[in-house]
Amino acid sequence: SVRVVESGGGSVEAGGSLRLSCSVSGYSYTAACMGWFRQAPGMKREVVATLYTGDGGTFYTDSVKGRFTISQDNPKTSLYLEMNTLKFEDTAMYYCATTTFVRLCTRSPAESDFTYWGQGTQVTVSS
């Protein structure tokens, strides 16, 4: 069975940095869309960043552009999210997800496109 596990969350002061990791196992694919999502208390889950493993193309939501970097390793079993200059509003549960639906991966990714999800890792930024 497919297993998605996030790690690396924690508490940090505003302006600080964190690096999230996601490990995917039991999943065989030629190309996939992998992504990070987040959900703050009382809010809907939103996409943060996605990566298409076929060509390394990426997508970022506007609020994190220039601060967050999504990356993958080789052989594409792990996904990372480097978060710099963290703000209070980045506080949320962060989820890793993956799917073989890649057509909109780096153009307009949606939560409903993703099949496999991790349990999440909490990021708390104090102001």
For residues 77-82, give the mean pLDDT. 94
Tell me: the pLDDT tens digits for 89-104?
999 999 999 999 999 9
pLDDT at 28: 80
Sheet with strand 3-7: strands edge to edge: 3-7, 18-25, 78-83, 68-72
pLDDT at 75: 60
Residue 30 makes CB contacts below 8 A (sequence gap 6+) with 54
Cis? peptide before 109, omega within 30° of 0:
no
Tell me: the pLDDT tens digits for 3-44?
999 999 999 999 999 999 999 998 887 789 999 999 999 999
pLDDT at 74: 66
Q: Which residue has the higher pLDDT, 45 or 76?
A: 45
pLDDT at 18: 98
Distance of CA 9 to the CA centre of its chain: 12
